[in-house]
Amino acid sequence: MTTVVLGSGSPSRLGLLRRAGLDPVVRTSGVDETPLLGETPVRLTRRLAHAKASTVAAGVADALVIGCDSVLEFEGVAYGKPHRPDVALDLWRRISGRTAVFHTGHCVVDTRTGRTVAEVCSTDVRFARVTEEDVAAYVATGEPLQMAGAFAIAGRGGWFVEHVAGHPSNLEGLSLPVLWRLLHRLDVRAVRLWR
């Protein structure tokens, strides 16, 4: 059976892949996620997904390596993991009651053949109008600090998402339909990877 490697330490991505029937090995890439000057959110996610998958693929053989990266685009600016409470609070004050776009870059490297495929998935997210008390309570949980766009749809942040236009699994950092297409382009059937 082909080994599937997730080139990400994201618990959301790992959980999603496991619920979808895969049992990936996790290898983090250590790639610097700093945006390049003038880089659009879509190009940023594509570049980082490719860098993560390529970096991890260089150290494994006979595997399918999946690399992903996500950002929330609001008013043309890409927001990754806020890491600090004040940054998360500031972002939530801006996106409350508004719509933003969640982009995830996907890249799969087949180390058996050397082939690489990539695609970006974008999902519109409309956030509820939340009170300062709600935002403070959410940020105090620590959940949004390590999540792109300062929210987790499958966690407490799900309370504040009113509408999603696009594939919902993308909001967990990996679109299953995109991964399906990428694997298909590599002549790999996802069902054959199920455990």
Question: Exactly one of 23, 69, 110, 134 is catalytic; which is it?
Answer: 69
DSSP 35-67: PPTT--HHHHHHHHHHHHHHHHHTT-SSEEEEE
Told to judge if 32 belongs to the known catalytic residues of this protein, a careful annotator would answer no
Name the 3-class secondary structure at 16.
helix
By DSSP bridging, strand 63-74 and strand 77-79 are antiparallel
H-state helical runs in 83-142: 85-95, 132-140
CA distance 62 to 52: 17
Name the 3-class secondary structure at 119.
strand
Catalytic residues: 69
